[in-house]
Structure 1
Amino acid sequence: MTGPGSGARPRRNGGDLVVETLAALGATTVFGIPGQHALGLFDALSRSALRFVSSRVENNSAFAADGFSRATGEVGVLFLSTGPGALTSLAGLQEAYATGVPMVVVASQVPLEGLGARRKGMLHQLDDQKASAANVTKSQRLIQHASGIPSAIQDAWTEAISSPAGPVWIEIPQNVLLDPVIVPPVEDALAEAADNPPRTELVKEAVRWLTAAERPAIIAGGGTRRGRAEPWLLSLAEKLRAPVVCTPGGKGAFPWNHELSLQSWIEDRYTTEVLEDADVLLVVGSSLGEVTSNYFTMEPRGRIIQIDAEPRVLESNRPALGIRADAGQALQALDAALPAAPDGAVPDWHGVPPEALVKQTLARIQARLDAQDLALERKFMADVREAVPDDMQTFWDMTISAYWAWSCWDARSGQFHSAQGAGGLGFGFPGAIGGAVGLATQGLPARVLAVSGDGSAMYSISELATVRQHNLPVTWLIVDDGGYGILREYMEHAFGKATATELARPDFVRLAESFGVPARRVKPEDVGEALREALAAEGPNVVVVNTLLKMFAPTHIQP
């Protein structure tokens, strides 16, 4: 029995083994879209307690599973159909892979007898479907026998949560999912993350460097949050009296208003100059990549200690004392080895105490902003921040508002999620959908905010149907500037004009209302009041603001 319409189905098939194992591992929710070869999975879902959230496009299903994981700290689960469905998910999986989000992806496959063969008339077939996923997942498995399903999924779950975390790909042929099984129901499954502590000699060497440092500074990247390293980051910073700057991915890892906090102004040259001047720069959970290095303009003059769970990241952009380890375990070890008052150099930034340096640097950044024509942008971002409750999680697309938020958004106790890992469009709204679903499963306040531009909104506009179907508490702020705003700025700066950045777009308010989603259009000066009302409402809603925001100039004052 290998296809739909071939008679009565058995009560248990290979699909049951999939959902039984996932449930035993603690899964509560599955994202995806049904497909012909995956019908065995969905038949089994009807006999399980797992909740299924169906998106309208597979890459949005991947973003939703990603958002579920980011919001909850749990593993996101994604079901995909064969061929076109599997391929459409890859942009979403690239973001999860780049950001280290744990996911288990179960894709269907053509029947076993069709694997590796070009059979005329077989729908959805790829020569090697696993190979298509190889660049965007940690590993790929093909399961050819039903008896292997529970162990394979348990192994995939273990790999997904082991640092560096990420999505893991499993594919199962149609007939393996549909055929009756003699394997008994799965009763238990256990997946424990592999231990990833730092090497002892590297910890000792790092402590020697830090103890002797006169001007230590710290960059806290996304790995700091993923490794739950916040308590040890705070302790280390205070022991060393080291200024700390958080990358967009690390936002919230260090208290925003702490006297040593450079906040997240990672793209301003004044921050870059402080990091360049450090004699020891401790980089935690960051590759020192494009954004963190201020677009590769940062030239550190001191020594670098780099901690990351991903070995390919270590020293990929700068020579460093590379420590391959989970950020939480590494900072805990460093903190334990570093005395409360290290016997060594006293922090002194050329006669300026580090706390005063931080205050001066933030003041210089604000003065630079004051000298630019940015009153609209600064008030807009401040109004949005004021309207959003401190503990609310927010999901940001690659749009000018998000570029501002990377630097100026105070995450407080609500997590900040953006798509800067891979930089693709369309993450914000479906990511927020997954986040709302996940928070509700944990019994937490589930209202979340998604922020998109009009260009990125069109990537996920179909998910208005999803948010309405499931009545999810997602508020979607769409900042409509009539085109790809950040690309417009890049091109105007580089070439004096922009090409192919202007867009025809729908009336977002009327379109949302056609899905049964309440929506309103407001002026930029009214965005705060509109958001407060939307965030206090029930179910989904949309707020549209027509305005043209500009980016700040990080290195010079605009005329």
Structure 2
Amino acid sequence: MSGAGRIGGDVVVRTLRALGADTVFGLPGQHALGLFEALRRAPDLRLVSARVENNLAFAADGHARARLDAAPDGPVPVTPMIVSTGPGALLTLAALQESRAASVPVLGISSQIPLAGLGGGRHGYLHELPDQQAAFEGVVKSVHTARSVSQIPAALRAAWESAATAPFGPVWVEISQDVLLAPATAPDITSVAAAPAVWEPLAEQVSTAADLLSAAENPVVLAGGGVRRGGAGAELLALAETLRAPVLTTFGGKGAFPWEHPLSGQSWLEDTHSREFLAGADVLLVLGSGLGELSSTYHTLRPRGHVVQVEADAGKLGSNHPGLGIHADVRQTLRALLDLLPRRDPDGGAERAVAGLLASIRERLDAQPLEVEQRVLRDVRAALPPGTPSFWDMTILGYWAWSAWNADGAPMHSAQGAGGLGFGLPAALGAAVAGAGPVLAVSGDGGAMYGIAELASAVQHQLDVTWLIIDDGGYGILREYSTGAFGQAHATELVRPDFVALARSFGVPATLSDVESLRADLVESLSTRGPSVVVLPATLRMFEPTHL
């Protein structure tokens, strides 16, 4: 391959740049070398690497989330990721499942074996799969292919639009090795007009919803991740204050409504009191949530009034609870509702109901021996500088944070969409690439081992991430679930390294902390530029699962 001539890989890179990308997450492989040669020749497109493809995809996910938080009113910030054929591509699937479940716009691009090996029998190419596309079709929003250089711009534009259309999500583009290496004779790409679809609500449905809400004596709002992803926080606040309606948020919707607002029922969705509060509404307005397992208190929610559900994913409408389903963008729907709803005079009733709800939750927590857990979470939150985002693995402290974390000025992201391990550190690294530093990552010792290799990436790219590892010697939440269900746990105890020594071997400053010094140790680590690790040996417990 001549280093001077333009090739298919250059068309990919130039199209991504024209679509608005300024950063690409990539891990090279044999069939994808044409892409990486093109990236080498593109100084205006930053390349960020990782050590494992699944972590690379988590990093792209974290980058996209941080960009969405930073610019809720701008164009949807799709994050590209490039990997090679077969094993490299397949290793991204678990992370892409999280991106799909959490509606995160990631554009995955993989190479493929040469065109001559496609569409027939097995040809014995390295990394060959019988049908690589099929492996992704059940995970991502859409799969696209380019079988010639001239097809590349259209395929990438279609993929970008799919990723950026609500509900956002990951997409996949596959390009064969020989296409990436083929000479490019078409004009250079400098601008591509991507036009993601906007789902406008139907007027008749909005009118019906407005009638129900206007007549409601006890309306309640459950705000999900679609409110947050769609940048509809201001509209939600206006609607709540117009209706004098309490607002609870799902775990994915944390930050969509002010935590300390008098109408905020916060996000204690694993608590029976919250479940009954939602169930008792005469109109329950569900915004940007499919009322899945976690959002419905493990499918024990039984609404007794009308349900109005606004959701951009048509497949979620009415899938768990029947009601008036509006397939539309949440922000557009809230604006349309605000035009029709009369403003209620505040009488303090909704505020008293919210205060009673939170008091009941606090009373239940205070009756349990959970002082250490509450202190640890409180000290972690207090240690963060204003605006610091956090990325949480599936660990007991993360489960606490789902309910108790105040996300005002401290955006929280977790792997609760798909529930896989290993999200925390690589996603935080992606957010740091987006300029969100300092960034906090939180993992248990089990989840930490999934991403430990990325300490090398943090050093290589000098990313401003503090990684808090809660070391309890095993898969703590599974230990607790198993013990609760069977009286004992099996296969949950883990041999693990000395995390402090291991971090230092990467050249990363590391601190062995304790409950008393945790806040001060985090403050120091977060105030020091570059990667750092804080290890807290502690066995934490969850609050009582009152949903059972």
Same fold at TM > 0.5: yes
What percent identity do the matched residue pairs reach?
55
Task: Tell me whether 1:111 sits opposite 2:107 in the alignment.
Answer: no
1:405 to 391, 401, 404: 401
**Residue number in structure 2 paired with 1:79:** 82
Q: What is the one-letter code of the residue matched to 1:397?
A: D
Deviation for aligned residue 1:414: 2.6
In the TM superposition, what whole-angstrom CA distance separates every residue of 1:168-192 from its partner, at most 9, and x where no partner exists?
Answer: 1110000000011111211211212
What SS is found at the alignment partner of 1:359? Answer: helix
Q: TM-score, normalised by structure 2?
A: 0.96
Task: Tell me whether 1:459 sits opposite 2:450 in the alignment.
Answer: yes
Indicate conservation of the 8 Å contact 2:393/2:414, yes or no.
yes
1:222 to 214, 220, 225: 225
In the TM superposition, what whole-angstrom CA distance separates every residue of 1:520-551 from its partner, at most 9, and x where no partner exists?
Answer: 11112211000000000010000000000000
**Structure 1 residue runs of 4+, over 3 Å off?**
7-10, 117-121
Within-5 A mapping of 1:291-310: 291-310=294-313
**Residue number in structure 1 paired with 2:363:** 367
2:45 to 40, 46, 50: 50
Indicate conservation of the 8 Å contact 1:402/1:418, yes or no.
yes
2:499 to 495, 508, 511: 508
Counterparts of 1:218 and 1:237, CA distance in 2:
8
Q: What is the one-letter code of the residue matched to 1:528?
A: R
Q: What is the one-letter code of the residue matched to 2:7?
A: N
Within-5 A mapping of 1:535-546: 535-546=526-537
2:93 to 90, 93, 108: 90
Deviation for aligned residue 1:554: 4.3
Q: TM-score, normalised by structure 1?
A: 0.95
**Residue number in structure 2 paired with 1:527:** 518
Which deviates further from its counterpart, 547-556 or 502-511?
Answer: 547-556
Q: What is the one-letter code of the residue matched to 2:315?
A: R
Counterparts of 2:547 and 2:229, CA distance in 1:
34
What SS is found at the alignment partner of 1:290? Answer: coil
Gaps of 5+ in 1: 1-6, 440-444
**Residue number in structure 2 paired with 1:390:** 386
Task: Tell me whether 1:19 sits opposite 2:13 in the alignment.
Answer: yes
**Residue number in structure 2 paired with 1:181:** 184
Counterparts of 1:556 and 1:97, CA distance in 2:
27
Q: What is the one-letter code of the residue matched to 1:55?
A: A
Q: What is the one-letter code of the residue matched to 2:54?
A: N
Q: What is the one-letter code of the residue matched to 1:111?
A: P
What SS is found at the alignment partner of 2:124? Answer: coil
Counterparts of 2:287 and 2:460, CA distance in 1:
41
Counterparts of 1:428 and 1:556, CA distance in 2:
27
Indicate conservation of the 8 Å contact 1:229/1:332, yes or no.
no
**Residue number in structure 1 paired with 2:73:** none
Counterparts of 1:162 and 1:412, CA distance in 2:
26
1:67 to 42, 62, 71: 62
**Residue number in structure 2 paired with 1:517:** 508
Gaps of 5+ in 2: 69-76
Deviation for aligned residue 1:399: 0.7
**Residue number in structure 2 paired with 1:3:** none
Indicate conservation of the 8 Å contact 2:201/2:329, yes or no.
yes
**Residue number in structure 2 paired with 1:283:** 286
Counterparts of 1:545 and 1:271, CA distance in 2:
31
Within-5 A mapping of 1:120-519: 120-341=123-344, 353-439=349-435, 446-519=437-510
Q: What is the one-letter code of the residue matched to 1:66?
A: D
Q: What is the one-letter code of the residue matched to 1:383?
A: D
What SS is found at the alignment partner of 1:379? Answer: helix
Deviation for aligned residue 1:556: 8.9
What SS is found at the alignment partner of 2:187? Answer: coil
